[in-house]
Amino acid sequence: MTTKTATRVMQAGTDAAAAAARCLAAGGLVAFPTETVYGLGADASNSRAIARLYEAKGRPSFNPLIAHVTSPAAARRLALFDAAAERLAAAFWPGPLTLVLPKAKNCAVAALATAGLDSIAMRVPDSPVAQAILAAFGGPIVAPSANRSGHVSPTAAAHVLNDLGGRVDLIVDGGPTLVGVESTIVSCVGDPVLLRPGGLPREAIEAVLGRPLMEPPARDAGPVAPGMLASHYATAARLRLDANDVRDGEALLAFGPKLPPGAGEAAAALNLSATGDLTEAAANLFAHLRTLDRPGVAGIAVMPIPHAGLGEAINDRLARAAAPRGA
Ligand code: TXA
Ligand code: MG
């Protein structure tokens, strides 16, 4: 069953926030920018809207969603914070950090959105456009990244239209997103665990906690570590990571000022950051992958990218995009 719908695109602003709130209240699907990537929002308390959201994304329904709220106070109505969670929320919210927490007793978020788990992923986004929509709506909004399941996350409204045009009701265009990779996810159900590296570097989190984050359970542990599907961020063209040359028919995804042999003959070439800046590289990552991933490109040679800071999230997304299909 695929529901066809007319997709409206509005520039971010007061009118768009009001229209988004009305649409969400009526059970509609609204794509909007956050500081990380564009999200596809639905009323967190409306199971039918959430079912439509899964359908629009083509997402396996065991994959739970992040609930977005305006403030830590709003998050405390839905989830239980221990001391570590309080410290992280105080240090990093609003911002690109998602906390997985035990669900509060009277949590208003539909069980479908949390895939029946007794934990919930919470996030307070730092984007003024997202904040305006949350304030106008007046309740939690569940929002996965606004791409078809298995595609790279959208960092511009045009990416959303490409993936989800005809499947969502409204796209709020707030321009390109600043961070460019998804939020870092830390579970605070027990000792803090890094579930997904992302827009907030691990080092910053560990500095606030005063101890290292634990590693997530193994990939094959099933839906306890959801969202960790190996090929989650697939491109059609094969990626060749840590490439020190560009081979016949390949495009080049470069990093830094010094290009490898063969760069001049690349089918196409884009640089994540010519100066070797990891923040700039994260912001460009998904848009550059989309641009290079086109018919006629046999593969994409990706230059080595350092693992420190935001490099951890960038390398994680690249490894997933390069993983064998069907994994
Ligand atoms: O930056 C972001 O986080 C973006 C923007 C739109 O906020 N959202 C995003 O959502 O990346 P999504 O659905 O693409 O990824 C959310 C991840 C998934 O891997 C999901 O499995 C995990 O969060 N997750 C959600 N609830 C969870 C829970 N209770 N326990 C463990 N993981 C959870
Ligand atoms: Mg996603």
Taking the C-alpha atoms of residue 225 and residue 196, their distance in angstroms, rounded to an integer, is 10
Residue 313, H or E segment = helix 311-322
Q: pLDDT over 90 for what percent of the chain?
A: 77
More confident residue, 77 or 223: 77
Q: Report whether 197 contacts 50 (CB < 8 A).
A: no
Q: Is the pLDDT of residue 258 over 90?
A: yes
Supply the Cα-derived Rg of the chain in whole angstroms.
19
The most distant pair of C-alpha atoms in the chain lies apart, rounded to whole Å, by 60
- pLDDT-derived band at 216 (thresholds 50, 70, 90) equals confident
Residue 228 Cα to ligand 2 middle (Å): 10
For 45-92, the pLDDT digits (tens) are: 998 899 889 889 886 656 899 999 999 999 999 999 999 999 999 999
- Contact between 200 and 263 (Cβ < 8 Å): no
Percent of the chain having pLDDT more than 70? Answer: 92
The pLDDT value given to residue 325: 64
pTM of this structure: 0.88
DSSP, res 40: E
Tell me the H-state helices in 83-143. 83-92, 128-137
Please state, in angstroms and as integers, the Cα–Cα distance from residue 273 to each residue in 7, 91, 206, 222, following that order: 34, 28, 26, 36
List the structure tokens of 156.
Answer: 């511009």
Cβ atoms of 322 and 231 closer than 8 Å: no
The number of the ligand nearest the C-alpha atom of 185 reads 1
Does 233 have pLDDT greater than 80?
no
Which amino acid is it at 138? Answer: G
C-alpha 232 chain-centroid distance: 11
For 226-232, what is the mean pLDDT? 51
Q: Is 4 helix (H, G, I), strand (E, B) or coil?
A: coil
Q: Is the CB of 39 under 6 A from ligand 1?
A: yes
**Pocket flag, ligand 1, residue 123 (CB < 6 Å):** yes
Residue 115 pLDDT: 79
pLDDT tens, residue by residue, 132-156: 999 999 999 999 999 998 889 999 9
* All structural domains of the chain: 8-221 (3.90.870.10), 238-322 (no CATH)
- In angstroms, the first-to-last Cα distance of the chain is 25
Q: Kindly state the average pLDDT of the residues 200-226.
A: 80
- Residue 159 clears pLDDT 50, i.e. is over it: yes
Q: Which residues is 302 bridged to in the sheet?
A: 253
Ligand nearest to the CA of 153: 2
Q: Residues with Cβ within 5 Å of ion ligand 2?
A: 145
- Per-residue pLDDT for 222 more than 70? no
CB 127 within 8 A of CB 143: no
pLDDT average, residue stretch 162-191: 97
* Band (287; pLDDT cuts 50, 70, 90): confident
Cis check for the bond before 216: say yes or no (omega within 30 of 0): no
Measure the CA–CA gap between 197 and 204, rounded to whole angstroms: 12
- The whole-chain average pLDDT of the chain stands at 91
Is 94 touching ligand 1 by the criterion CB < 6 Å?
A: no
Does residue 147 line the site of ligand 1, with CB under 6 A? no
Neighbours of 305 (CB within 10 A): 24
pLDDT of residue 103: 96
Sign of the Cα pseudo-torsion (130, 63, 114, 72, in order):
negative
Q: Ligand 1 within 6 A of 145 CB?
A: yes
Question: Considering every ligand atom, which ligand is closest to the CA of 152?
Answer: 2
Cα 174 to its chain centre, rounded Å, is 16
Q: Is the pLDDT of residue 124 over 50?
A: yes
Instruction: For strands 30-33 and 97-102, give the pairing.
Output: unpaired
